[in-house]
Every structure is written in C-alpha cells, then in structure tokens.
Amino acid sequence: MQFPDGFLWGTATAAHQVEGGNVNSDCWLLEHVKSTFFVEPSGDACDQYHRYAEDFALLQRLGFNSYRFGIEWARVEPEEGEFSRAEIEHYRRMLAACRERGLLPMVTLHHFTSPRWIAARGGFESSDTAGRFARYCERIAKDLGDLIGAACTLNELNAVSLLQQMGTLPSDEKILTSRWRAEASHAMGVAPESFSAFPFCAQSTIRDNILRTHREGYDALHSGRGKFPVGMTLALQELVPAEGGEDRCAAALRESEDVFIEAARGDDFAGVQTYTRRFFGSKGPLPPPKDAECTQMGYEFYPEALEATIRRTAAIAKCPIYVTESGIAALDDSRRVEFIRRALACVERCIRDGIDVRGYYYWSMLDNFEWILGYGPKFGLVAVDRTTQERIVKPSAEYLGRMARANSTSDPVTRA
Ligand code: BGC
C-alpha cells in the first residue's frame, strides 16, 4: 500500500540516551550516587551533542523524512530561571541542520530527565513543577518555535502508572526510604522527601501533577512562534486477560492507559509507543508464554501489539496518531527487520480502516543508553562503536529507509 502523502518516516532518540555529558540532569546524579541502581553511567552516550550533523546526513541518505529527538531541559535551564543562551543556540543549530537534511524535526521537551534543581524541588511529586515546565516550554516556543516541526510535551507521562501496574516499581515507602534517594537528596542539600526523579517517584501523588504539566506545557508551546502540532506520548501495551484475569486486566488498562489517553482528547495528536503485549492473571501481570520468542528486554516478540494500541488510542483520544516509538532490542538484526515488517503491517491496516496515522518512528536510531540497563540492550538501526563513536549501519536501517523512500510497505528489494 502507498502511504498517505506527507506520512512521516522517522527514527527516535532521547537527549540523555544519545547526547552524552548531561551532567546537570537528575539522571546523571542518580547514575553517580554510591547506591546507584544503574548498571553503568551514561558517560559520553553516543556523543550526538557533537555528532548530530553526521547523524542527520546518515538519516537522509537512508531515506527518512523526520527525526524525533530531545531538547534537554537540564541544559536549557541548568538552574531555576537561568536559561542558557548558548544551549538554546545549540538546539537552534540542530533544528536547522535537521531541516537542511530534509528531516522534519519532532522534539520532545521532557524525556524522563529533569534538571537536578527540579528533582530537588520535588519533581513531579510537587504541584509547582507544571508551572516551571510551562515556563521552559514558553521559552523554547519563543526562541525555537519557527524551526520545530512537531513537539511532544512529556515522553510517556503514564510511565509511573504503567510500571506500578506491571509490579516493577517499588512501593512508595521503599522509594521514600531508599539509600539512593537519601544520597541524591544529600548531594542536593535537601531532605529525602523533597527529592524526586521521574520515574522513580512515589506514585500516589504524581498522576494529577503530570497531567497538569502536560496541559500547561501544551498551551505554552502553542503560545510562541510556529504553528507546529503538539501532543503527549504514551507507553501502551496490548493488555490481554488470561483466564480469571479479566478484572485485573481491565483495572490495569484503565489505571495505566485509558485515563491518560482520555487526557489527550482535543490535542493535535497522540503519540503511541508500543513494544509488546502483556497477559494478566488473577494476581496481576504474567510472564510471557513459555514457548514465546523473547526480545533482549525479556518482552514477548509480538509486533502486532501496535495494532491494538493504535486502534484503542484513536477510539478514545479521537485525534491524529503518530507512532512515536516502536522497536525491539535484539542482537540478531534480522529479528528487527521482521519486527518492523509486522509493525508496519499494523499501521497499514489501521490506515486502511480510516484511522488517521501520520507517522512511524522506529526506536531507536542508535544503540544507546538504555537507562538502568546501560548499553547492553541493542535497539538501534545503527550500532555505535563505544570507543570511537563510529556509526555502523545495520541492514534493518537500510530496510526501513527503503520503505520510507518509497512511502510504502512494499519493499522493492525483498518484495516483502
Ligand atoms: C522510552 C525509551 C526507551 C525505550 C526502550 C521507551 O519506553 O521512551 O527511552 O529507551 O522505551 O525501552
């Protein structure tokens, strides 16, 4: 099928995961406290802070027409109210370079990391963060809005609720009394109850704050130069009830997904980010079925989950959809090709049924810093030599690039 004109074919990254040296962020701090739970620090990451021109040239050569990347709040506003003109100029150069390569820049204003001072003022556990985020968004809209192609306010603002439903986040009490939180707050000169870094935060307070942060950020981004679309991105899985798990599954869907999707109503778009499906039993989430193929992350290999999440989001949010992340961590790149092929077939079926899907961004352009798991999981279309920073293009990059160039899922080389 030929995709609609103007369909965006992209890859996605986040500032902290690829730029390197994000020293003013809360994440950098957590990577360096004595009791850190990160397996290794982010360090130089992929040095995209300095190598963006080379990366954009590569994306253009491959055939993409868009790139999703992060603007790092911790760089732009390293101390409260102190905006760095030099860093804003850096992102201006980056946006311009992106456009010069024929790539529409989609930016993310907050992709998990915040400035340290935000974390020391309660992060998203504090109701003041919404206003502070809006002030930062306003500045970005004013100074960079003329070059932005599309903007995501917060990446996966439902992440905490999702981790909670999946049983992977410690209890509020454990987080509040953890050694790492004590050490990080000590480093910032505040009491442990004042320090909060997303998504490792006490869960009970943050949902309303984060939804308000999106809303105020959304309005602020519309206040400046440029008429680009703005939306949130959501971590969505296909949640499937196993026998006896119907109630738990319905509750998880409601708590971790639907309330957030509903908040996207009236926005310019909703960003769907899907990696797998999850079964629910009577006691909660179940591990993948015994015979299932699993990815490097331990997720079930199930690209079709994307079809369910696109359909659900479109039905509830009633706004255009971008698939802002879809991907797989795999050492065997042929599994990535297969994943992409089947994920795009989902997009195609949705478009055929009249759903307004406007773009597909593969996560990720580069093998990068996978948060607490460090550099182990390989999500990239392009490998990165960790010593020389050399980019090594994988066959999956060429594969997706060919479809991008043809604006179609029929690959002229494999005819698949
Ligand atoms: C996040 C990325 C992350 C990816 C793979 C998404 O939830 O937005 O930052 O690297 O998943 O785990």
Please report, in angstroms and rounded to a whole number, the separation of the first and last CA atoms in the chain: 12
**Tokens 């860093």, residue located:** 87
CA of 14 to the centre of ligand 1 (A): 9
Q: Is residue 320 part of a domain?
A: no
CATH of the domain at 83: 3.20.20.80
Say whether pLDDT at 410 is over 90: no
Give the containing element (helix H, strand E) for 272: strand 269-274
Q: Can you give the pLDDT at residue 204? A: 78
CA distance 223 to 398: 39
Q: What mean pLDDT value characterizes the chain?
A: 97
CB contact set of 260 (below 8 Å; sequence gap of 6+): 157, 158, 161, 211, 232, 234
| Domains in the chain, number | 1
Q: Is residue 307 part of a domain?
A: no
Q: What is the pTM of this model?
A: 0.98
CA of 265 to the centre of ligand 1 (A): 24
Q: Is residue 23 part of a domain?
A: yes
Q: Is residue 281 part of a domain?
A: no
Q: Is residue 267 part of a domain?
A: no
Q: Can you give the pLDDT at residue 416? A: 55
Q: Buried b vs exposed e over 198-233: b needs ≥16 C-beta within 10 Å?
A: bbbbbbebbbebbbbbbbbbbebbbebeeebbbbbb
- Count the alpha carbons within 13 Å of 130 in the hemisphere toward its beta carbon: 16
Q: Is residue 411 part of a domain?
A: yes
Q: What percentage of the chain exceeds 90 in pLDDT?
A: 95
Say whether pLDDT at 220 is over 90: yes
Q: Can you give the pLDDT at residue 343? A: 98
Domain that holds residue 76: 8-235+328-336+354-415
Q: Is residue 248 part of a domain?
A: no
Closest to 260 in 3D by CA, of 268, 271, 250, 249: 271
Q: What percentage of the chain exceeds 70 in pLDDT?
A: 99
Place 279 in a pLDDT band, splitting at 50, 70 and 90: very high
Q: Helical H runs in 254-332? A: 259-263, 305-317
Q: Which residue among the candidates 19, 31, 138, 156 is catalytic per the annotation?
A: 156
Question: Structure tokens of 58?
Answer: 């590569």
Q: Can you give the pLDDT at residue 411? A: 76
CA distance 52 to 282: 48
pLDDT, average across residues 243-265: 97
Q: Is residue 258 part of a domain?
A: no
Give 313-326 pLDDT, tens digit per residue: 999 999 999 999 99
The binding-site residues of ligand 1, defined as CB within 6 angstroms of any ligand atom, are 14, 17, 155-156, 235, 273, 325, 363, 370, 379
Say whether pLDDT at 237 is over 80: yes
